[in-house]
Homo-oligomer: A and B are copies of this chain.
Amino acid sequence: MATSATSQNWKKKPWLEPRPMAQALHIAKETLFYDDSFRQFKHQSKRKKSILGLQYIFPIFDWGFHYTFKFLWRDVIAGLTIASLAVPQDLGYATLAHLPVVHGLYSSFVPPLIYSVLGSSRHIAIGPVAVVSLLLGTLLTNELPYNINGKANPQYLQLALSATFFAGVFQAGLGFLRLGFIIDFLSHATIVGFMAGAAITIGLQQLKGLLNIPTANFTTKTDIVSVLRSAFQHTYQWNWRTIVIGLVFLGFILLTRFLAHKWKKLFFLSAIAPLLSLILATVFTFHYRLENDNVAIVKDIQKGINPSSAHQLIFSGSLVGTAAKIGLVAGLIAITEGIAIGRSFAALEGYHIDGNKEFIAFGVMNLAGSVTSCYVTTGSFSRSAVNYNAGAKTPVSNIVMALTVMVVLLALTPLFKYTPNCILASIIMAAVVSLINVRAAYLIWKVDKFDFIALLGAFFGTLFISVEIGLLIAVSISFVKLLLTVTRPHTALLGNIPGTKVYRNVNQYKDAKQVPGVLAIRLDAPLYFSNSNYIRERILRYLHDEQDNVALSANGLPVQYLILDLTPVINIDVTGIIALEELETALKKKNIQLAISNPATSALEKLANSGFIERLGQQWVFLTVADAVQGCVTREVFLLM
């Protein structure tokens, strides 16, 4: 019998054996290097180790060695496809961040090149994204005006680049310190809510371009009420030509997407629809000289690739703290989005994304971006999906995209002069629709109503107050939920399943029967300072309820023994031990004997070290609940041992 075998083990008092100090190091390793990231280095020759090290730091040396012509063909197709999507989106996203449109293109050139060398995701498409652009624009305009007397404020651009620099510093720093898990503290539900709210906010912002209202006349607030009021207060500035062009192409892009959804063959049509719309609208505007009819156009875009911006970074004065704060928030949101995308494609294709390595890759990419006139970049939801569907095999598709954007910057920017702003608005509106994940929201509603309320909180906070408040609500709700889970752990009243030695939760297993005179309770969490008071009082409540039941029934046996099943209690701290001591004292006052069963090694060790086992008496510590019940019921037999 197992019971006897392990009982013997038990009698050896394993907890009194000295444990190596290495234990502490082991815990530190489990916390920071839990994924054993360096496992491939074990048992290897020195030469092999240095190659593996190079591959670890630069994954390009890993997949690069297996690269084939067939891969190249797929990557070129995918790269050109996402470039066709990136160029129009970049122009629009830069305006969300209130930056000159050319910075959007810059940000699709350098960062993807850096990522393709350092990153582990093979399907992510790097560049500026809608939500981060909006967030950055909102945070920056809280500090500085982006326009002074109708001209761009040079300090605003400096602050944006400095924030990008700090975003990179924080991302790389957290990855290096292996603290990448902090993004796990944002719950899925609040992210879904926040993203949907931000998507609608971004869509509403596009009314400005779609209706042709000059930026100077439009509200700087982002909540739905202010934006709609602003849009309808300026009806006299609406321009029917703009509205018609915008709506026609918005309809065209959405239609191609709908068709592609039905017939997979039409995928490439939907992928290049935005670029096609851009070209058609530009030609149309140029041909009919619509700028003379007040249709707003992009005007001049600076020609040439990214200029250096190292001299623009702010490292002194009061704005440094501001830049660091904005960088921290924007950087964390950016990488949360980026890693989520990377992980979902990795799961689909069965490869592994190392979160901390991604932090470093994103960090270096944004550091490099900050000195080459780029603002915060990450993986884009919409373009990554297109990249994957277009058949991308490796980060080479990002290189192809970057080179395409380079060609645009070097030669084609004059062609965008007559691009009407309204077509950029339409392209962004169509793009952000994919951020509204109705299926995920429905799943959350089905699975957990509380999570759904959290989702609604983040959604409405973003929509009706501001993108920062929405984010703050999302973070706060996630935190409160975490804290509740650590203060209110589950406990279960156990009953015996007739004919067996198995004890199970009486609420889950209706045939489980409580043993008269004995109350068995399982604690479903480690016993820590945050939950000890709760657990002690919850146990006493089980006891009171049981005593009430006994008092009501005619021939009930009063509770004489209380058994705590500590199987899930894998650890305990001093507060937890004090709570158990207080419980034992309180029970003794009521003439009830406490017994415990099956604590895990580390918990048992601490109970013994603290003297609790001695105080309780070793005879009241059992291997299983069944043993404990038997021990209590046949107490006399036990006392003779």
Contacts and interface: CB of A to CB of B under 8 A. Distances in A.
Interface of A: 1-3, 5-6, 9, 24, 27, 30-31, 34-36, 39, 181, 184-189, 343-344, 347-348, 350, 352, 355, 440, 443-444, 446-451, 478, 481-488, 490, 497-500, 502, 504-505, 507-511, 524-526, 528-534, 537-538, 540-541, 544-545, 548, 567-568, 570-571, 573-575, 577-578, 581-582, 585-586, 589-590, 600-601, 606, 609-610
Contact of A511 (B9, B186, B577): B9
A491 to B, nearest CB: 10
8 contacts: A9-B510, A34-B537, A36-B541, A186-B529, A187-B575, A189-B529, A347-B586, A482-B530
B350 A574 contact: no
A601 B508 contact: yes
A188 B488 contact: no
B534 A184 contact: yes
A535 to B, nearest CB: 10
A189 B574 CA distance: 8
Given A34-B488, A35-B537, A601-B507, A188 B347 contact: no
Nearest to A610: B447
Contacts of A488: 30-31, 34
A448 B607 CA distance: 11
A548 to B, nearest CB: 8
Contact of A446 (B483, B571, B610): B610
Contacts of A589: 350
B188 A447 contact: no
Given A448-B606, A567-B568, 10 more contacts: A36-B544, A36-B545, A347-B581, A347-B585, A448-B573, A448-B574, A481-B528, A505-B600, A507-B601, A508-B601
Nearest to A508: B601
Contact of A187 (B350, B502, B573): B573
A205 to B, nearest CB: 29
B181 A350 contact: no
A526 B485 contact: yes
B568 A529 contact: no
A540 B352 contact: yes
A509 B6 contact: yes
A343 B532 CA distance: 13
8 smallest CB-CB distances across A and B, nearest first, come from A350-B589, A2-B497, A2-B500, A347-B582, A188-B575, A187-B529, A490-B570, A568-B568
Given A187-B529, A478-B529, A1 B486 contact: no
A601 B507 CA distance: 9
B36 A530 contact: no
Interface centre among A344, A347, A500 (most CB of B within 10 A): A347
Contacts of A606: 447-448
Interface centre among A34, A530, A610 (most CB of B within 10 A): A530
Given A446-B609, A482-B486, A606-B448, A5 B498 contact: yes
Given A36-B541, A529-B184, A530-B184, A574 B444 contact: yes
Contacts of A504: 2, 6
A166 B439 CA distance: 46
A581 B508 CA distance: 25
A5 B497 contact: yes
A348 B578 CA distance: 12
A574 B486 contact: no
Interface centre among A1, A448, A532 (most CB of B within 10 A): A448
B24 A585 contact: no
Contacts of A443: 574, 610
A187 B449 CA distance: 32
A509 B184 contact: no
Contacts of A500: 1-3
A63 to B, nearest CB: 17
Contacts of A548: 39
B181 A487 contact: yes
A243 B444 CA distance: 71
Nearest to A500: B2
A347 B582 CA distance: 5
Contacts of A35: 537-538, 541
Nearest to A484: B31
Contacts of A187: 528-530, 573, 575
A2 B609 contact: no
A488 B528 CA distance: 14
A261 to B, nearest CB: 21
Given A9-B510, A601-B508, A181 B533 contact: yes
Contacts of A450: 24, 27
Contact of A534 (B3, B24, B181, B567): B181
A289 to B, nearest CB: 53
Contacts of A347: 581-582, 585-586
A38 to B, nearest CB: 12
A512 to B, nearest CB: 9
Contact of A184 (B185, B487, B505): B487
